[in-house]
């Protein structure tokens, strides 16, 4: 990804739809940076180093942001809120931080592999995927566009999670949530099974249009 040309160092990325973009600076990029440069999962901010936009990090982030969830393939890991940050350390290694959704979610290994393959295919040879546990993921982290895509796919998105501080009272009854049918919009729906094709979804049925549908549970 880096090459020294006539005393200047060029940083390029390959494999993107827009072709190779190059950033040239009068001094080595790495020498101007201490620690890591990162773009946050919540935005697509480009990093500026000595007045020059570095294509490498924002490029790696945009590649990582296209990777989809194996269990909810209509959502990217970014929309799911799993992609925390994409950074590059001083040695040119791309470090991707992800946060597990559910405890024991079997898709985590697939997410890790998919991110690694996507970045390698885009020309980032040295990739490390790190797992970040805090703050813990919540279904509230699913973005608005992610919720819209779930509904368009016939899956009811999760409602918002009630935040509590202090002791949490536990009840023995079933969890009651008002879930709207993604097909007809009726609120007259019932839970058929707490689990459906994947552990993160419940199976519900609409009493109005009689269609079964899945619901991403609040957590």
Interface pattern 48-87 for Zn ion (x via CB under 5 A)? ----------------------------------------
Tokens of 68: 């989809």
Interface pattern 153-182 for Zn ion (x via CB under 5 A)? ----------------------------x-
Residue 184 found at the interface with Zn ion (CB under 5 A)? yes
| Angstrom distance (rounded) from CA 2 to CA 202 | 48
Binds Zn ion (CB under 5 A): choice among 209, 212, 218, 219? 209
| Minimum CB distance to Zn ion, residue 108 (Å) | 33
* Residue range at the interface with Zn ion (CB under 5 A); choices 82-90, 130-138, 144-152, 183-191: 183-191
What's the length of the chain?
Answer: 219
Residue 33 found at the interface with Zn ion (CB under 5 A)? no
Residue 1 found at the interface with Zn ion (CB under 5 A)? no
Binds Zn ion (CB under 5 A): choice among 21, 93, 183, 205? 183
List of residues contacting Zn ion (CB under 5 A): 181, 183-184, 186, 206, 208-209
């Amino acid at each position: 990804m880096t090459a020294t040309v006539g005393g200047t160092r060029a940083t390029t990325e390959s494999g993107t739809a827009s072709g190779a973009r190059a950033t040239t600076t009068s001094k080595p990029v790495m020498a101007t940076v201490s620690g890591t440069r990162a773009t946050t999962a919540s935005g697509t901010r480009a990093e500026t180093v000595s007045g020059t936009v570095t294509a490498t990090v924002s490029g790696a982030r945009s590649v990582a942001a296209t990777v989809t969830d194996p269990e909810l393939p209509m959502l990217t890991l970014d929309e799911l809120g799993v992609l925390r940050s994409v950074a590059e350390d001083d040695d040119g290694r791309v470090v991707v931080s992800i946060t597990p959704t559910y405890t024991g979610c079997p898709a985590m290994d697939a997410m890790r592999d998919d991110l690694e393959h996507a970045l390698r295919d885009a020309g980032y040879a040295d990739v490390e995927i790190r797992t970040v546990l805090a703050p813990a993921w919540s279904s509230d982290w699913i973005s608005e566009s992610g919720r819209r895509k779930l509904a368009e796919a016939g899956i009811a998105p999760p409602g918002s999670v009630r935040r509590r501080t202090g002791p949490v009272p536990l009840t023995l009854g079933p969890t009651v949530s008002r879930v709207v049918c993604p097909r007809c919009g009726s609120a007259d729906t019932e839970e058929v099974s707490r689990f459906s094709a994947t552990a993160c979804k419940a199976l519900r049925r609409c009493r109005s249009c009689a269609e079964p549908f899945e619901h991403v549970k609040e957590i």
